[in-house]
């Protein structure tokens, strides 16, 4: 897993849905600072966030974990 690639994928997916970091954070009941850290590749979402995050962003868990790259 590549934190930068996953972060970019989360950012791109969020923007595709017209959400701000704050919007995404509110949907997941977390802080926008956590979302910012994910998107900058400084941390990964907690395992308990993976399914809710994939549902909100309408992406597969596989794409979320690989950063949307089938080459991984």
> Does the pLDDT of residue 1 top 90, yes or no?
no
d(CA 1, CA 24): 22
Q: Which pTM was predicted?
A: 0.91
Taken in order of first residue, the domains within the chain and their CATH numbers are 3-66 (1.10.260.40)
Confidence of residue 17 (pLDDT cuts 50, 70, 90): very high
Confidence of residue 68 (pLDDT cuts 50, 70, 90): confident
Counting Cβ atoms within 10 Å, is residue 10 exposed (0-12), middle (13-18) or buried (19+)?
Answer: buried
């Amino acid at each position: 897993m590549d934190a930068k690639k996953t972060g970019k994928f989360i950012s791109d997916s969020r923007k595709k849905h017209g959400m701000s970091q704050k919007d995404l954070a509110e949907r997941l009941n977390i802080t926008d600072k956590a979302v910012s850290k994910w998107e900058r590749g400084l941390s990964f979402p907690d395992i308990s966030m993976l399914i809710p995050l994939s549902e909100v962003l309408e992406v597969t868990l596989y794409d979320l974990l690989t950063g949307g790259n089938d080459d991984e």
